Amino acid sequence: MKVSLYRYRLPLSQPIQFHDQQISVREGLLLKWESSWGEIAPLPGFSKETLAEAEAEALLCLKALKMGRPLEPQLPSVQFGFDCARRQWPAKMNAPHSPYILLLGSPDEIIWGWREWLYDYPAKAKLKVARHPMRDEVAMVRELCRMAPKLKLILDANCGWTREEAWTFMSHLNAANIEYIEDPCARLEDIRAVASHTGIPVALDELLSLEPRWEPFPQLKAIVIKPTLIGSLSRCKALIDKAHATGLKVIISSCYESQLGNRQLAQLASEWAPEQAPGLDTLRYFTTNVLKAETLHVDEQQLELLWQS
């Protein structure tokens, strides 16, 4: 059996902030298992493990496999990459719903970019919040909705507010324009409290990897599955089954994986949540591609080989 591990570096078209870390280059690993592939790409600021730790565990598992003593990875991003590389993917990948648009930048930049749509506005868009002064973000949301009154917004706070801050922000929103707010606070009890008080729908995202024993509540409308943060495909599927059993929406979302990982996430979205648009609108922030345009096969020439069996 031939197995190879590669490293990639993909420049981004603009620096992107992930909690307290800003990156201008996305780095990760690609695992080739015979003719199948998986991606191991911890997201700085979000993943529990660093890329160096993921690489060390991947190499440890691969060397143990070669010696006839298989080890199963324990780090979430490594579990996801190994599971994808060993999965039987269909010969023809399905196309899920078109992903909703992700708007990045300062409030002023987002408003100016929004005006360039010239009234042909998308029906749904996602915004990062809890990054700039609250008055600026509230004004931004109101201005976007003023220009596109039928707009449905997904707001992602990345656990950035206290209970009081989330309460204040959400009380200034028009619920008719809000699909839901992802992770307004860092604690599940705070999210439940502010959602109950304001009536604004919420979703759980990165908290799913921190609080696995979540239970549904009236304002909880969706869970957002980021397999790179969750780990194994079986764990992802268990979360999805629980969500569907309780009537929640499921959105498959990316962690700024490369084009390979994004394509595999799109396939998983078409299998696991075919009725929902996935959160995969991240590729437009990459300036290069690990896939060959004509075949969509991985271009191994631009990767750094780390290990081969």
Residue located via tokens 């998986």: 38
For the entire predicted model, the pTM comes to 0.93
Can you tell me the distance from the alpha carbon of 27 to that of 288, in angstroms, rounded to the nearest whole number? 12
Q: Which amino acid is at 235?
A: R
Q: How far apart are CA 210 and CA 64, in angstroms?
A: 29
> Which residue segments constitute the domains of the chain, with CATH numbers given?
3-93+288-308 (3.30.390.10), 101-285 (3.20.20.120)
CA distance 290 to 103: 24
User: Is 128 one of the catalytic residues?
Assistant: yes
DSSP class of residue 305 equals E
Q: What is the mean pLDDT of residues 234-256?
A: 96
Active-site choice (128, 150, 152, 249): 128
Nearest partner of 101 among 91, 81, 116, judged by Cα: 116
Residue with tokens 């909703």: 100
pLDDT tens track for 286-299: 999 999 988 889 99
pLDDT, tens digit, 9 for 90 and up, residues 12-38: 999 998 888 899 999 999 999 999 999
Report the pLDDT value the prediction gives residue 95, as an integer from 0 to 100: 65
Q: Are strands 202-204 and 220-225 parallel, antiparallel or unpaired?
A: parallel
Q: What is the tens place of the pLDDT at every residue in 53-86? A: 999 999 999 999 999 898 999 999 999 999 999 9
Query: Known catalytic residue: 63?
Result: no
Other Cβ atoms less than 10 A from the Cβ of 11: the count is 11
Render 141-192 in DSSP notation, one character per residue.
HHHHHHHSTT-EEEEE-TT-B-HHHHHHHHHTS-GGGEEEEE--BSSHHHHH
- Separate counts of helices (H) and strands (E) for the chain: 10, 11
What's the rounded Cα separation, in Å, for the pair 284 and 111?
Answer: 19
pLDDT (tens digit per residue) in 177-231: 999 999 999 999 999 999 999 999 999 999 998 877 899 999 999 999 999 999 9
The residue annotated as part of the active site, out of 226, 237, 249, 292, is 226
Is 12 buried (19+), middle (13-18) or exposed (0-12) by CB count in 10 A?
Answer: middle
